[in-house]
Amino acid sequence: MELLSSTKVSGGWLKRYRHESLSVKGDMVFAIFLPPQAESIKVPVLYWLSGLTCTDENFSQKAGAFNKAAELGLAIVMPDTSPRGTDYPGEHESYDFGSGAGFYLNATVEPYGHTYNMYDYVVQELPTLVEEHFPISDKRSISGHSMGGHGALICALKNPGRYQSVSAFAPITNPTQCPWGEKAFTGYLGENRETWKAWDACELIATAEERLPLLVDQGEADGFLEEQLKPEALEQACAKAGHEVTLRRQSGYDHSYYFISSFIADHLEHHAAALTS
C-alpha cells in the first residue's frame, strides 16, 4: 500500500492509501480513521459506503463523525465508489452510471464485468487488507448513504454473520423499481430483470438468513424521496417478512451531508452497541 496522507484528528489518525486491487484489476484508494484506542488494542470497524459522484473523501470531510468515533473507540473505513482509471465508452458521461457510480455490485456485462466488482471489493478484499495491516478486529458493521445505503443493506443481507449491525441514510431501497437502479442495473447486469433481484434490498429481505435490525434515516425534504429512494417499499418488505426496521423520517432534512452530520452520532452509537456487545 502507498500512504497518500496522514492527518491527526479527534485524538486519532485519518489516513489515505492507494493499493492495487485484484477485484477491480487496478488501483483503488480508501481512507481509514483510527481512533486513539487503536494505539494499544485492536478496535472494531464501521465500513462506510458513499453515494453517487462521491469518493472516499466526502464522508471524512463533511460528516463530522470522528469525535464520536474516537469516543466510542470505533474505526471507520471509507472506500471509493467505483473503479478509477478505466475509460469505457460512456463511462464518464453521466453522474448516475459508470465513474463514481459502481452501485456496490459485481457487473456481468462487458466491459464493466472486467473491473466493476465493487461488491467483492467491499465485502471481501478491502476487509482482508484492513485486518491484515491495521489494528482492526474482525468485528464489522456497515453503513452508507443513498447508493451507499443500498450497498450497505445488500452487503448485510447477502452475508449472514459477517456484520454485527447495519444502517443507512436515505438509501436506494428498491433499485429494481427506480430510474437510478434501472439505468445502472441495465448497464452492469443486462436486460434480464430477474438477475437484478439479487442486488435489491427489498427482494433480499424476504429470504434473508439473518435479520439484523435495520436503522434508516430519511429526510422528508429530500428531492429524491419519491422517485428514487422509496422508503415505503422497504417498510412493506420488512413488515411482510417480519424483519425489524426503524425508519426515522426527519422533517425538513434533505439529501445532503448536512442531513448526515445531524444524525451520524446516533448511527455510530447504534453500531458501537452491536460491536461491543
> Residue 146 catalytic?
yes
- At residue 78, φ and ψ (nearest 5 deg) are -125, 100
Task: Determine which one of 21, 82, 146, 167 is catalytic.
Answer: 146
Task: Determine which one of 222, 243, 267, 271 is catalytic.
Answer: 222
> Which is nearest to 122 in space by CA: 85, 95, 156, 170?
156
Cα within 13 Å of Cα(41), Cβ side? 7
Give the separation between CA 184 and CA 97, rounded to whole angstroms: 6
> Residue 27 catalytic?
no
Task: Determine which one of 255, 267, 270, 271 is catalytic.
Answer: 255
Phi-psi region of 103 (alpha: psi -120 to 50; beta: other; left: phi over 0): left
Q: Identity (one letter) of the amino acid at 55? A: T
- At residue 227, φ and ψ (nearest 5 deg) are -80, -35
> Residue 255 catalytic?
yes
| 89: exposed, middle or buried (Cβ count in 10 Å: 0-12, 13-18, 19+) | exposed
Give the separation between CA 198 and CA 191, rounded to whole angstroms: 14
Note the residue count of the chain.
277
- Positions annotated as catalytic residues are 146, 222, 255
